[in-house]
Homo-oligomer: A and B are copies of this chain.
Amino acid sequence: MSIRSIYTRQMKTDSLPHVLILGGGFGGLWATRALASAPVHITLVDRTNHHLFQPLLYQVATAGLSAPDIAAPLRHILRKQKNATVLLAEVIAIEPDTKKIRLEKNEIAYDYLIVATGASHAYFGHEEWETHAPGLKTLEDAFAIRERILSAFEAAEREDDPALRAQWLNFVVVGGGPTGVELAGTLAEIARHTLPQEFRRCDPRNAQIHLLEAGPRVLAAMPESLSLSARKQLERLGVIVHTGDAVTNIDADGVTLAKTRIDSRTVLWAAGVAASTLGQQLGEPLDRAGRVKVQADLSLGNHPEIFVAGDLASVMQTNGQPVPGTAPAAKQMGAHVASMIRARLSNKPASAFNYRDYGNLATIGRMAAVVDLGKLKFSGLFAWWFWLVAHLFFLIGFRNRLVVLMDWAWSYWTYQRNARIIGSDRDK
């Protein structure tokens, strides 16, 4: 390209409005894509280089899939979208009054800002529990949990004292939502099917998997009949389900509940969610989980050029229920924000975000799942197949789908999990 044409291109680009998008999750990425043909230039900033297919993150944590199966570089996904630039950077501050954000070294000015930085796990004011009970939101979290689970079985094999060995074979998952249920079900499968013939001194089948839920039932977002079915399926897999008992303390040796105590060296946290702290810099009211209360069109009351999409947004559905913090909701919000920006650019009126609920799935383990499609509810083997096909379908990128399908088929037939890696710098 000649210098002249670069110059022309630069000029042309610079006269277009600049849409700055923070976060390459479902909200941010779907907004970016929906602006592909809009007369804007887009900068997508994320602190990792990849889009993560979070619904399958628990499979990385339980050694069933490897990281590249569910993570693709954002700039690779967007390579053909010429109006989008991807930057790997940490956002230090948002300055709505001067329409700028600050990175470590640079500032970036925007005409429109989409904040889609999502949520992380939270400990309800007990941050000291994090050391003993890691949560699951990023790939690093998944690797840490994978290492903890596998190392516990290794420690049991090394241990000579039967009491201590039993402690190493006790696993506790705190939180009976979808992630907690998935983790507990998969742990039971690993203990009963994947590992037994490989150990000589301890028997992984003696492992106890406890799932703790403070509320009255697991999968509280589902209809009661499916919660009940999920509990039965979990128990059939060998999970011990505790409901209606709240965690009062977590230490290195186990979990204390209001009514009981469980000794365990491996506690996993799947209970609380807190919105990204960037939301606090927008000058708008927040809800209890730190989510930003947005207008009906997902913009901010004081700054109509700023939008919030995904888990960070607090929005109500027409039925008075909050829009759930799920991948489909984040995608829909991303697309809506993009259409609002298009509308502004052509002086068309804004419209309210309208969440379309296509249903609710949760997997539990091998051939066990529950599906709620509104009128249609089912569970068990067919639900599991439904879950599997749906997740494969939504997984980004043809190659990922193929590899994941192969990994699943392999695990299904052999009961093996192929990402069982523990490193040598475990003590770091």
Contacts and interface: CB of A to CB of B under 8 A. Distances in A.
Interface stretch (A195-203, A216-224, A302-310): A195-203
Contacts of A158: 87-89, 103, 105-106
Interface string A183-222: 0000000000000011111000000000000000000000
A83 to B, nearest CB: 10
A406 B402 CA distance: 10
A103 B399 CA distance: 44
A106 B38 CA distance: 66
A160 B106 contact: yes
A423 B160 contact: no
Most buried by B among A80, A154, A406, A418: A418
Contacts of A76: 198, 416, 420
Nearest to A87: B158
Contacts of A47: 424
Interface string A68-94: 110111011011100011111100000
Nearest to A400: B418
Contact of A423 (B73, B139, B422): B139
Contacts of A105: 158
Contacts of A160: 106
Contact of A139 (B48, B139, B406, B421): B421
Contacts of A86: 157, 198, 200
A84 B199 CA distance: 10
Contact of A75 (B151, B199, B410, B424): B199
Nearest to A195: B75
Interface size class of A (residues with CB under 8 A): 35 or more
Contacts of A73: 198, 420-421
Copies of this chain present? 2
Contacts of A84: 200
Contacts of A199: 75
Interface string A126-167: 000000000000111000000000110010011010000000
B406 A410 contact: no
A294 interface: no
Nearest to A13: B200
Contacts of A67: 66, 419, 421
A307 B158 CA distance: 24
A391 interface: no
Given A105-B158, A406-B403, A418-B68, A197 B79 contact: yes
Contact of A88 (B85, B103, B422): B422
A331 interface: no
A97 interface: no
Interface string A388-428: 00000000000100110010001000001011111111000
Q: What 8 A-B pairs have minimum CB-CB distances, sorted nearest first?
A: A88-B154, A49-B422, A75-B198, A85-B200, A66-B66, A68-B419, A79-B198, A48-B424
